[in-house]
Structure 1
């Protein structure tokens, strides 16, 4: 995602966010009730998808149907720039602890309804599933994520709690007063706009 944000970095002076992404998550949980891996699927909005394809010189006929070669070239495009301190806009927290999530490996790429759908998998240092809160957000709110689904083993569930965007906006104003572009770049208030999901697992028999 960082690579995509950098590609759009010249955009400035307008209201945040600049990109909209639907996030679908699939978590792997071991027999001891610990999260061991997460697969993330990002579906980019149609305008961002168009800009990404144009920037990479793909889909020159503009029909949003990519050849196998073009899809192979696109695969992993959003993982190309991934500094060690970049958390991938996915956060798993349990009480005061935060899960350590490894680097991504691309697992899928497609273009559906003129939108890029890209997936990657990340190993997780074993982390307790029960009670873990899942959030996906860009700290600078350059990208607005909507958490669409969280898939878990049958014994676990994680209902999504959509963020109240208006309330988030009020909190930002309370923190900084007048809101402008620098608010998001400096204050990093993206977490206020995050959907949440809390994991609950049935006791194993």
Structure 2
């Protein structure tokens, strides 16, 4: 079952069937689609990091299929479908740590549950926006924060929003502390991992956490 299928509520049986057919007809090698993300690092008035505001834009092909099928659901508007889909996305991601790992000075930062989220149609793409709060809020001053967002199965590739083959100005933002240096570090997977991913069929999974090897790293260094 694809990443998108796991997001869908039981009500959307027609959509699940359509996406299943598309998945079986897709290219054999992983990944089979992508998500463009942008991240805003959230801080409080004392300079402590409190969470990540994430915006995920699904690739145009999957977005088109999702919108088309949601509009075919009898007795429901597109907005109603998106509202229910947003809840399913949130619930399924919650069981997988929201596909996000965060560290401060190399130590894992525990996450809290997401309560603020929405799914919408933006620029004809399915867009999921949410605030991922942290369970602890360390000071950023004198620290380095890093995060990775990735699909562990690597069915979908997660990349930062880009312009001209480089991260866009909106890819990683920290407005409250302009003295911090923000960088999106590209993935550098071992050639063996690239080969492993290329040999996987649509219904196969590689080793656990295969997606980690292909994950970009957001880095925030504060003096």
Whether TM exceeds 0.5 here: the answer is: yes
Q: Does structure 2 retain, via aligned residues, the 8 Å contact 1:107–1:121?
A: yes
Question: Does the 8 A contact of 1:76 with 1:118 survive in 2?
Answer: no
1:15 aligns with 2:15: no
8 Å Cα contact 2:110/2:134 also seen in 1: yes
SS in 2 for 1:39: strand
* Distance change in 2, residues 1:4/1:133 (3 Å): same
What is the distance in 1 between the residues matched to 2:52 and 2:85?
A: 19
Which of 144, 150, 161 aligns to 2:172? It is: 150
Change in Cα spacing, 1:31 to 1:23, as seen in structure 2 (3 Å) is same
Question: How far, CA to CA, are the matches of 2:126 and 2:101 in structure 1?
Answer: 23
| Contact map agreement 1:151 1:157 (CA 8 A) in 2 | no
Distance 1:47-1:98 versus aligned 2 partners, 3 A rule? same
Give the TM-score of the pair, scaled to structure 1: 0.75
How far 1:158 sits from its partner (Å)? Answer: 2.0
Q: Separation in 1 of the partners of 2:84 and 2:51?
A: 18
Deviations 1:81-115 (A, max 9, x none): 32654111121123452122222234444323321
Structure 1 range deviating more: 154-163 or 134-143: 154-163
Deviation at 1:15, TM superposition (A): 1.2
Asked whether the 8 Å contact 2:152–2:212 carries over to 1, the reply is: yes
RMSD over aligned Cα atoms: 3.2
In structure 1, what is the equivalent of residue 164 of structure 2? none
1:197 is matched with 218
- Which one has the bigger strand percentage? 1
Assess if the C-alpha contact under 8 Å between 2:28 and 2:199 holds in 1: no
Number of residues of Structure 1 aligned to a counterpart in Structure 2: 189
- What SS class does the counterpart of residue 126 from structure 2 fall into? strand
Q: Which residue of 1 aligns with 2:185?
A: 161
Q: TM-score, normalised by structure 2?
A: 0.69
* Partner residue in 2 for 1:180: 200
For structure 1, the 5+ residue unaligned runs are 61-68
Structure 1 residues 192 and 29, CA, compared in 2 at 3 Å: closer, same or farther? same
Counterparts of 1:88 and 1:185 in 2: how far apart (Å)? 20
